Amino acid sequence: MNELRYSYEPATGEYTGVSHCHLSPARPQNDDGTPNWLEPAYSTAVAPPEAGEGFVSVWDGTAWKLTENNRGKLIYSIVDGSWTYLAALGPVISGYTLKQPPDAYCVWNGSDWVEDPARWKAKRKAEVNALCAAKIAAGVIVQFPDGPASVQTRNITDMQNILAFAARGLAERVSGSSEVRSFLDADNEPHALTSDQAVAFGAAVQTAIEALYAASRQIKDAIDALPGPDVETVKSYDITKGWPAPAAAPAPNAPTVTS
């Protein structure tokens, strides 16, 4: 003869399964005549309710209750979409959802993730910055007196070299020097320049770089001006247009630049 008992996890009260208890062989009856069952620890004679999908039965010390079970599931912050694991029994904690954001450009609207125009605009403007940097790093074409050639503008060191060359030309022009010096292009080919041409060369490169930055600002301003709720317009906006065309012809003997 035996009787059923319903076990639970001592820390959480979660139902763990049914157990069979037996009469004590040494003392099968209590003093009042009732059976003296050897009951397993952390169990009750009260049967738990059937728990549906996503729930478990939990013993609270006096009765069973159905508790939501999301343990081990990924949950996502409704503020920034960052994720963590839910470790404890119970509903999803406040400020989180089980719904995964599709990407980093969505916001939580209270019930679901929706695309955020502001985040998409920030993304597209970052793309404009990257495109501008790539155009600068690609170098510029300078129309030297002996023909066009590519000049490196990959980084601050390249620009410092160009501006230092132009500054020396300016100093020589002020001092009345007529020294001719050579500047090495991207292929390490020398180009002879007078002091006036050196100054014009530095100014032309600087103007070309400034034109790229100006175009970048204008394109980003245009993105900011797009209708706020219309995410598709932001996504499809063509950021390859609006960049400066090749520069106009130079003054006599002065270098010019093409992008």
Model confidence pLDDT, tens digit, residues 11-37 = 999 999 998 888 888 888 888 888 888
Q: Which two tokens stand for residue 173?
A: 């022009």
Asked if 123 and 109 sit in the same domain, the reply is no
- Whether 125 and 202 map to the same domain: the answer is yes
Residues 103 and 138 in one domain: no
Is the pLDDT assigned to residue 171 strictly greater than 90? yes
16 and 29 co-located in one domain: yes
If pLDDT is split at 50, 70 and 90, which confidence band does 259 have?
Answer: low
106, pLDDT greater than 70: yes
Highest-pLDDT range among 25-34, 170-179, 188-197? 188-197
Asked if 87 and 167 sit in the same domain, the reply is: no
Count of structural domains within the chain: 3
Query: The domain containing residue 162 runs over which residues?
Result: 118-258
Do residue 53 and residue 15 come from a single domain?
yes
Which pairs count as long-range contacts for 150-156, CB under 8 Å and 24+ apart, including other chains? 150/185, 150/186, 150/187, 151/183, 151/185, 151/186, 151/205, 151/257, 152/185, 152/186, 153/205, 153/209
**Helix (H/G/I), strand (E/B), else coil: 76:** strand
Answer yes or no: do 85 and 145 share one domain. no
Domain end call among 28, 46, 67: 67
pLDDT by residue (tens digit) across 72-97? 999 999 999 999 999 999 999 999 99
Label residue 253 by pLDDT band (50, 70, 90): low
Same domain, 17 and 125: no
- How far is 143 from 253, CA to CA, in rounded Å? 10
Is residue 29 located within the same domain as residue 142? Answer: no
pLDDT of residue 249: 34
Going by pLDDT thresholds of 50, 70 and 90, the confidence category of residue 248 is very low
Q: Which of these three, 115, 145, 180, is where a domain ends?
A: 115
For residue 177, give both structure tokens.
Answer: 């020097």
238 and 141 fall within a common domain: yes
First to last CA, the chain: 95
**Which stretches of 30-188 are DSSP H helices?**
117-137, 156-175
* Range in 97-106, 139-148, 155-164, 180-189 with the lowest mean pLDDT: 139-148
User: Mean pLDDT in the chain?
Assistant: 90
Domain closes at, from 54, 88, 115: 115
Asked if 189 and 228 sit in the same domain, the reply is yes
Task: Give me the mean pLDDT over the 222-226 stretch.
Answer: 95
83 and 54 in a common domain: no
